Structures are given as C-alpha cells and as structure tokens.
Structure 1
Amino acid sequence: MEKALKKYGWIFVLPTLIAFTIGFIVPFFEGLYFSFCKFTTVGNAKFIGFGNYVSALTDAQFLRSAGFTIAVTVVNILAINILAFALAMALTQKLKGTNFFRTVFFMPNLIGGIVLGYIWQVLINGVLSIAGQPLLKLNGTAGYWGIIILMCWQQIGYMMIIYIAGLQNVPDDLVEAARIDGATDWQILWKVKIPMMMPSITICVFLTLTNSLKLFDQNLALTNGDPNHLTEMLALNIYRTFYGRSGPQWKGIGQAKSVIFSIAVILIGFWQLKATRSKEVQA
C-alpha cells in the first residue's frame, strides 16, 4: 500500500496542481508582466519598464491607504484574537448552553462581506444620527472604528472555534501537575495553556493578518473610502486605480500597485509565521 501511494500518489495531487497553476500561477506571472506595461486590454500591452512602479510609489493616496490599512490591521489582530481567546476560555468551562453560544458567535462568519458592510452601515449611521454626529460619509473616525467593529463581529466566532480546539488539546495532566506545584490560574494560563496553544495562535494571527490586509468588500460597502478617501484601504485603492480611471496608463499603475501589495502581504505573512512558529512547543 505504501509503495503504491509513493508511485501513484501524484495522480491525486495533479487535479489540484493544475487548477492552482491555471487559477493562480499563470495569472500572477501575466500580471507581473503587465505591471511593466501601458495597456487598455491584454492584446495591446506596451512595455514601458519601471514607470508604473515609480508612479505607484509616489502616489500620495496609495501611501495614505497603506498607512490606514496598517492601522486597521494592527487593531484587528489584537482585538479579534484577544476577544476570541477570551470567549474560547469562557466556553470551554463546564457551563450550560455553551454549544448554543458557540453557534451564535460563529454565525456572523457565514454572512458575506458586502451584506455585513451594508448592515453595519445602517446600524452605525443610526447611532451617529442619534448622537448628533456626522454620518460615515463625513466621519473618518467613525469609519475607521466601524471597520474594526465589523471585522471583529465577523471573525471573532471563527477564531474562537480554533482557540477552543487548541484549549481542548492541552493535556489535562500538565494542568493538574501545575496545580499540584501551586500554580495559580493566571500562571497556568501563561506558562502552560498559551505555550501549548501556539499552533492555534499562529493560525489565528495569520488569518486575521491576511484578512485585514486584503480587506475589500467590507470597506467598499461600509464607507467606500469616504470621506475624501480617508478610510480607503489598499485593495479598494488598487480597484479604483485599475477600474475607476480611464486611460491606458492607469491600468499599468493599478497592476503595479497590486504586485507591490501582493509581495508585501506574502512577506509580512511569512514573517509572522516564522515569528509565531518559533514560539511553539515541540512535542
């Protein structure tokens, strides 16, 4: 059986590999080429060198969107993971109704980002109206915190499930041994549970990091970058550059922005994985 798997196992991998190559590898390298071109369609691309990258990196709004994206990402990572971990701790206690609450907290993750954006736009605008504050289209601060609230509401339940699985995999004998040695609940949390849960933490931080960096549909539906592009994240800025402006030069600039963005997300993601995996306890 083992010999057969070694000999014919590649057959099972082949369909996924073909789909991945057609759907990701080929478009990525085509996009990389077009980022060096001026074009309106793929059939009339004209190579112009690094001009698109110079234009992208000197675009003040692109840089402003990068700063806003980083600000959203940092707060999202902290808020989502801390709250999800706290809920996981609470729902792994022997309490009544834990399965019901797990389901309730997970359900927002099943709703599409566009729908969530419009739902929270109505809710936040209603609160702002009652408070006598400018609505989202005129309120950059409310738009920023609106995105944070929306992302927390959508993703906390999903991360909570991962943390619950991690907590349930912590050996009971380690916890009991720590208690016998006189460790407090706080010491057990920091010295036993969290180190044993680092694989779960790695996954959750990676997911919240990448989901926040590439956020698009929620940003589009909730604020659409208003007011005056102050709440415009990188994905929305790239979309507007590529599709929202006429002229062959903007297609190439938008493509260059997307390449810069993709490389940045890949590098940041790998750095985060390396940093958190180095903290994992080896079995």
Structure 2
Amino acid sequence: MITMVGKAIRKWWGVFALPTFAAFVIGFLIPFVMGIYLSFTKFTTVTNARWVGLRNFSGVFSDKEFIHALILTVAFTVVTTIIVNVVGFSIAYMLTKTLKGSNLFRSVFFMPNLIGGIVLGYIWLLLLNGVLSYWGRSITFSGTYGFWGMVLLVSWQQIGYMMIIYIAGLQSMPGDVIEASSVDGANGSQTMFQVIIPLMMPSITVCSFLTVTNGFKLFDQNLALTNGAPSNNSELLALNIYRTFYGRVGFEGVGQAKAVVFFIIVAAIVLIQNRLTTSKEVTA
C-alpha cells in the first residue's frame, strides 16, 4: 500500500531532483563539453576561441615532456597500485585477527589520509631532505629521488584508506566457507589464494580502481614535493598539463588538448582494469 508520503514523492520527484541535476549540468557537463570544444581551438579566453582543428593534438604528441610525464605516470601508478593494495590488504588481514589495540592501529593507519595533499607534500619534503642531507642530496636532486619520494608519500597516505575497505570486505566474508576449507585440509596459502582472495575481489576491484585513478590524477603532492624538479624529470601528467595551460602563453589550447587525451587514457585504463577485476569476482 502506497503511503501519502510515497504518493507525494512519486508526484514531485522531479522538483527534488532538479537542484542536483542542475548542479551536475552547470558544474560538470557544460564545462566538460566546452573543454572538448576548446581543445580544437586556439584561445586565451573562452570568448576569443578560434578553431584550429587537430593542430593542438599534434602538439601534444610532439611534446617530449608530455611523453616523459605519461611514461612516468604509468610507472608511478603501477608501482603505487601494487604497494598500496598489497600492504593495505596485509594490514587489514592482520587487524581482523584477534589483536590487542586493533582499533587504535586502524585509526593510526587511517590518519594520514586526513591530511591535505599540499600539506603532506611539504611535510615529506622536509622529512626526505633531512634523510638525504647526510649524502649531500635533496629530493629534487634527480628524477629518481623525486619518483620514489612520491611513491613513498602516496603509499603512506593511501594504505590506511584501502585498509578500511579491505577490513569491511574481510568482515563480511562468510565464515562457514573458511571453516569448510580448513576441514577439507587446505593450508594457509591455499585458503588465502583459493578462498579468501577470490571472495575479496569486489573489495579489490574498488581499491584498485581508486589507486589507479589516484595515481594518474596526482597533482598536489607532486607540486609540493618536487614541483617537477630537476628539469621536469619528476613531473607527472597532471602537473605537466597545468604547466602547459598556465605557464606557456599561447599554449592554452594545447593544454586543453592534453587534458582531453589525459581523460581518454585514464578512462580506457580504468575500464580495462574494472573489467579484468570484476570478471574474477565470485559469490559465496
């Protein structure tokens, strides 16, 4: 039986949905469409855009710094995705066992995720430079230092967040399946790789999606920790696009074209990753 409230919602749902839909259109859809249009123009402001076709995109793939940033971003995303998920899952598995102070440990591991990216970048800049100063180096001495410095920073920040997701997945697993595997004589490794991990694939899908997207769109930590130094060797894609758009007069269209290419690359990789992980999901 439909209540009076239910009837009112069915009748006036459009009124309630309109503000959210309007915000979506104004804040996302219109800028997204305009961004695609501007990638085919030469402009300094939206009002003086002049159509140039694919010229901006040819400038994208002829930019050696963009190609270097793309390769570095892919490598960075692969490394951080593996580290964050493996360590985050391992910590979650340990904290779901009987362990004194597990709630305290969960809070401690999660806390870095609450710190803003810019602040976190400057904190780790001081820490890493303090360590490297013993060898007369700094985090911006080479692209290698900058790369691994960002890996360390991002891993430290995101492990706690992924740990929470994995803990929720582990706690929702049916206990009778684990018990059945032990009754059947499965050892610890067999139980982990043939029972627990297949049942955890929904959580792994979510965490891998988040770590892949976070790796590709990393900007503020890159800006604060290395600012692309030395000579843009530690510059990731988001920072490269920012520098092109705001740092090179007359290259706004190229910067916008880079942003469109960036979106296509990330969307394609995320779709492939999501398809691969969801195909391995099983039900208990």
TM over 0.5: yes
The code of the aligned residue for 2:237 comes to L
Return the offset for 1:15: 2.9
How many aligned positions are there? 280
Residue 222, structure 1, aligned to residue 225, structure 2? yes
- How far is the alpha carbon of 1:14 from its aligned partner? 3.5
- How far does residue 231 in structure 1 lie from its aligned partner after superposition? 0.4
Q: Deviations over 1:115-169 (max 9, x none)?
A: 0000000100110002x14212222211111000000110000000000000001
1:213 aligns with 2:216: yes
1:68-147 → structure 2 map (5 Å cutoff): 68-130=72-134, 132-147=135-150
Cα distance change, pair 126–59 in 1 and its aligned pair in 2 (3 A): same
**How far did 1:230 drift?**
0.6
Q: How many Å separate the matches in 1 of 2:278 and 2:233?
A: 35
Aligned pairs for 1:1-283 within 5 A:
1=2, 4=7, 9-130=13-134, 132-247=135-250, 250-282=251-283
Question: In the aligned structure 1, how far is the partner of 2:260 from the partner of 2:244?
Answer: 13
Task: After superposing the two structures, state which structure 1 stretch, 216-225 or 179-188, moved more.
Answer: 179-188
- For 2:40 and 2:283, locate their aligned partners in 1 and report how far apart those are by CA, in whole Å: 45
What is the identity, as a one-letter code, of the residue corresponding to 1:94? T
Runs (4+) off by over 6 Å = none
> Could you tell me how far apart the structure 2 residues matched to 1:216 and 1:123 are?
20
Deviation at 1:282, TM superposition (A): 3.5
- CA deviation after TM superposition for structure 1 residue 17, in Å: 2.3
User: Percent identity of the aligned residues?
Assistant: 55
Question: What is the CA distance between 1:270 and its match in structure 2?
Answer: 1.1
* Distance change (3 Å), C-alpha of 1:6 and 1:133: farther
1:18 CA drift (Å): 2.1
Residue identity in the other structure for 1:142:
Y
96-105 or 1-10, larger mean C-alpha shift? 1-10
CA contact (8 A) 2:142 2:233 kept: no
Q: Quick one: distance in 2 between partners of 1:251 and 1:73?
A: 26
C-alpha displacement of 1:32 = 0.5
Residue identity matched to 1:136: I
Specify whether residues 273 and 142 from structure 1 end up closer, same or farther in structure 2 by C-alpha distance, changes over 3 A only. same
User: TM-score, normalised to structure 2's length?
Assistant: 0.95
2-side partners of 1:9 and 1:169: how far apart? 34
Q: TM-score, normalised by structure 1?
A: 0.95
Change (3 A) 1:9 1:279: farther
- How much is the aligned-residue C-alpha RMSD, in angstroms? 1.4
